[in-house]
Structure 1
Amino acid sequence: MANPYRELLTTPGATGLVLASAIARLPQAMIGIGIITMLVQQTGVYWLAGAVAGTFTLANALFGPHISKLVDQRGQSRVLPVVTAFSIGMLLALIIAVYLRAPVALLFVLAALAGTMPSMPSMIRARWSQLFRGKPQLHTAFSLDTVLTELAYIIGPPLAIGLSVSFFPEAGPLVAVVLLAVGMTTFLMQRQTEPKVVVGNISRTSSTLLIPGVRTIVLALLAMGVIGGSIDVAVVAFANAQGWPESATFILAAYALGSMVAGLTFGALKISLPIEKQFFIGILVTALTGVLPIFSADVFILSGMLFIAGISFAPTMVVVMNLGTIIVPPSRITEGLTWMTTGISIGVALGGMLSGLVIDAYGARAGFGVAIGAGVVMVVVVLVGLRTLSAVSAANVEPAFQ
């Protein structure tokens, strides 16, 4: 039986893209938690740490689509060095400002400006689309990409925390900045896979959100992000309530592990079901398995429940990215994929906030109720937009996907 991953990596440029992207995506997983750890170590004020990190995350989500739109118009090699250098400068300024105990207002300004850091998952996926658009290998490529993203979020946060705690408060964000510079340089050296700029694309001004079907996907992913964000906070609260706060680490690792295993398996399969039906099934399973954690009696049962819940996450993301490449034209693919990432990012932030409020009012277990509510909203959103998705994908689908 042919190994689809081996076939993928023998494609010219694919191995270099995998290795470069492994470094380039790590800083995005480190910087938010690195800012939190740095500020907590320096000031001991948790609300300030969370607010400054939240400002960076929100700014990154809002700037991302506009930067990606510029990338579609001008090309990665022309835009990414400039915006990355600016973001690195602002991150270094933020680190210095924290070290010098600068006024709080300055920290928020610098964090917002640092949010111009490009959305590397979107840049990487745009390159996979360049290599395999309309081909079966794109399914495997997006599966591998989703697994590598999960791995980055398993390695990145503990690395950032460990560096700041073990050496000095600024160590975590500082290493993240170094990795960002190295990763972006290595990534841009992979010229063979860089997406080509479509002639005439520079004059385009309308948003990719106006393309039929894109808003349905973004809203569904926002709700999906709420599920992930609320579970993160609820797990920490549940572990504390059980008297074993350290267990939150392996509980969340089980969630990510379930997603990784499913993602690798899904990437090796050939699915004949229409792409919009795959999307609905993935969303439905994600919503149903999101109910499981609330029935957990202890941390071990919760770990098992989250492993099961995680199984639907990566395959659903793979289907979403495949669907995105079908309904979004090649000339706008980076912006389209970034809007999807933005939906998840805003959802994660919103889910964490809502879950925290519910937990404060009703206890740790109630925090999982936010994920259940988000699951219902997600299913309704997709049901309402399913006809549009079906029509658009049928009109644009290429023979390899049929």
Structure 2
Amino acid sequence: MPRHDPDHPHMPLLTVTADTLVAADFSSRRRPRTAPRKGRGELRDQPQQTRTRRRTDTPTPSGALAPYRALFQHPGTLRFTAGGILARLPMGMFSVSAILMIAGARGSYALAGAVVATGLAATGLVAPWTARLVDRHGQARIAVPATAVALLGALSLIACVHWNAPAWTLFASYAATATVPNTGGMSRARWAHLLKGDPAALHTANSFEQAADELCFMIGPVAAAFLCTTLFPEAGTLVGGLLCMTGVLLFTAQRATEPPPTGRTTAKSPLRATGIPPLLAVFLATGAVFGSLEVVTIAYADARGHASSAGVILGLQAAGSCAAGLAYGALRVPGPTERRLRRCLAAMTVLMALPWLTATATGSLLFLAPALLLAGMATAPTMVTAMALVQRRTPQGQLNEGMTLAVTGLLGGIAGGSALGGWVVEHATTAGTGPAPDTAGFAVPVAAAALALLIAVIRPNSRSPIDAL
């Protein structure tokens, strides 16, 4: 029990806490500062105010998920993250939905593919300008009307397909969806604004965002195929457009976490910023890895009579990437970011060889699936590290534009890699070269990953290679 003598007001209050004797001095005289002693008595020798502050501090989260729990202790982060994921989910739905809808109504996969390719090209042209407007005028002011225009384009596409409008209307309608903003870039910009000066926390946030991207592109195509084949052909495009609009409205409603607009700036374009062009080339080559791997895997499964299994196998690759991204974000990886990127690209080059070797040696989808799972584990850490470099090298006030340029490079690489992978599969199979000609396409993602590594080991604005990986 605490002891205190009321007849001696300057006597200290004594109490026992566990095995520690605590003395609280209520006298008005100043007590001399005592030099702290090592060991268990150190806390007792500290001033009363310091002891109290240490006892009342909020405990720091611990455990493997501690970095992620710490992220969402910031007010408003959970709400804008939920809105951002909802807005990004349709990004994996639009292409598949459009292909199924157009091919089902017009009976032409060539027309459907051409319409989708036109939309990707339009996105490559329009997205950087949309991102520049977001940087200048704010996310809510630009993202909402831009998404509304994209939704109108999706609705127009549905109407043109349903009422058998001329083919050119399909191209025009789908091209209008290119105004949809890069919600992933805007979300990363919010984290960069909130976590300014805390590179470790920003690394975790970037890893989480990359895992969210992987999750959306893993679920999106499956959801699109289910909606279009189970309900009606237009269902995937309709639901995707509504989800995108709803997610952007929820995302932009969180104004407290929105970075302030920069207005017009005299800074040069991110395209001309030091170190950005080589990074965009890395994104282009990395996109070729993704695009070619998807096409050659589908062709490999189809050649063995299991085309329906291709989606599940590719889903394993995305699942491996998502899991690796979350694990990477929980780590505190030492060393400069540039060196980490080179190591990630080297790991991706090595792991991308696993599907090629497995397919050639076994010819079995059962063995290819775990090989793709392992190969996917290098992609998310690579993307996280590359995006961190984009954030660092982009001029102040142009972060959305810089990250959107990176995504545009990635999409361009996906398109080019898909075309190259398909060409290699078709010609190698026709020529019948090698012991397993239908596995030759798996060499394309390996070559693309090696090209990305080669670009990364060359210094920006220099012809000399970096000394060590």
TM above 0.5, one fold? yes
Counterpart AA for 1:362: A
Of 372, 385, 395 in structure 2, the residue corresponding to residue 319 of structure 1 is 385
* 2:455 aligned with 1:381: yes
Corresponding residue number in structure 2 for 1:187: 251
1:174, CA displacement in angstroms?
0.4
1:203, CA displacement in angstroms?
4.1
1:386, CA displacement in angstroms?
5.7
* 2:186 aligned with 1:117: no
* 2:131 aligned with 1:68: yes
Do 1:32 and 1:57's aligned partners in 2 also have CA atoms closer than 8 Å? Answer: no
Do 2:80 and 2:250's aligned partners in 1 also have CA atoms closer than 8 Å? Answer: no
* 2:335 aligned with 1:269: no
CA distance in 2, matches of 1:369, 1:89: 41
Q: Any idea what the Cα deviations from partners look like across 1:67-121, whole Å, max 9, x if unmatched? A: 1011111111111122111111111111110111111112112222221111121
SS at match of 1:169: coil
1:150, CA displacement in angstroms?
0.7
Q: Any idea what the Cα deviations from partners look like across 1:180-222, whole Å, max 9, x if unmatched? A: 1111111111111111123xx4144742110011111111011
1:385, CA displacement in angstroms?
3.1
Corresponding residue number in structure 1 for 2:467: none
Of 118, 126, 146 in structure 1, the residue corresponding to residue 210 of structure 2 is 146
Q: Any idea what the Cα deviations from partners look like across 1:374-398, whole Å, max 9, x if unmatched? A: 122212211123687xxxxxxxxxx
Q: 1:274 to 1:205 in 2, by over 3 A?
A: closer
CA distance in 2, matches of 1:184, 1:229: 27
Of 325, 343, 364 in structure 1, the residue corresponding to residue 409 of structure 2 is 343
Do 2:157 and 2:170's aligned partners in 1 also have CA atoms closer than 8 Å? Answer: yes
Of 235, 240, 244 in structure 2, the residue corresponding to residue 176 of structure 1 is 240
CA distance in 2, matches of 1:223, 1:183: 30
Counterpart AA for 1:311: M
SS at match of 1:319: helix
CA distance in 1, matches of 2:117, 2:83: 27
* 2:457 aligned with 1:360: no
Do 1:222 and 1:343's aligned partners in 2 also have CA atoms closer than 8 Å? Answer: yes
Q: CA RMSD in A?
A: 1.5
Corresponding residue number in structure 2 for 1:369: 443
* 2:224 aligned with 1:160: yes
Do 2:270 and 2:395's aligned partners in 1 also have CA atoms closer than 8 Å? Answer: no
* 2:354 aligned with 1:292: yes
1:13, CA displacement in angstroms?
1.6
Counterpart AA for 2:162: Y
Of 373, 395, 399 in structure 2, the residue corresponding to residue 333 of structure 1 is 399
1:322, CA displacement in angstroms?
1.6
Percent pairwise identity: 35
Which aligned pairs between 1:32-51 and structure 2 lie closer than 5 A? 32-51=95-114
> After the TM superposition, which segments of 4 or more aligned residues of structure 1 sit over 6 Å from their partners?
none
CA distance in 2, matches of 1:350, 1:323: 24
SS at match of 1:58: helix
CA distance in 2, matches of 1:369, 1:356: 12
Higher helix content, 1 or 2: 1
Do 2:274 and 2:460's aligned partners in 1 also have CA atoms closer than 8 Å? Answer: no
TM-score by length of 2: 0.80
TM-score by length of 1: 0.93
SS at match of 2:457: helix
Q: 1:32 to 1:205 in 2, by over 3 A?
A: farther
Which aligned pairs between 1:48-59 and structure 2 lie closer than 5 A? 48-59=111-122
Counterpart AA for 2:452: M
Of 201, 216, 228 in structure 1, the residue corresponding to residue 290 of structure 2 is 228
SS at match of 2:179: coil
1:311, CA displacement in angstroms?
0.7
CA distance in 1, matches of 2:90, 2:166: 26
Mark the runs of 5 or more structure 2 residues left unpaired by the alignment: 1-61, 430-437, 463-469
SS at match of 2:458: helix
Which aligned pairs between 1:93-108 and structure 2 lie closer than 5 A? 93-108=156-171
Of 326-335 and 343-352, deviating more is 326-335
Do 2:354 and 2:375's aligned partners in 1 also have CA atoms closer than 8 Å? Answer: yes
CA distance in 2, matches of 1:70, 1:255: 35
Of 143-152 and 283-292, deviating more is 283-292
Corresponding residue number in structure 2 for 1:22: 85
Q: Any idea what the Cα deviations from partners look like across 1:320-371, whole Å, max 9, x if unmatched? A: 1222221113301000111111111111111111111111111331221221
Counterpart AA for 1:153: F
CA distance in 2, matches of 1:377, 1:343: 15
Counterpart AA for 2:396: P
* 2:154 aligned with 1:91: yes
Larger Rg belongs to: 2
Do 1:133 and 1:325's aligned partners in 2 also have CA atoms closer than 8 Å? Answer: no
Counterpart AA for 1:375: A
Counterpart AA for 1:156: G
User: How many pairs were matched up?
Assistant: 386
SS at match of 1:246: helix
SS at match of 2:307: coil
CA distance in 2, matches of 1:90, 1:370: 35
Counterpart AA for 1:210: R
Of 153-162 and 370-379, deviating more is 370-379
Higher RCO (CA 8 Å, separation ≥ 6 residues): 1
Do 1:30 and 1:157's aligned partners in 2 also have CA atoms closer than 8 Å? Answer: yes
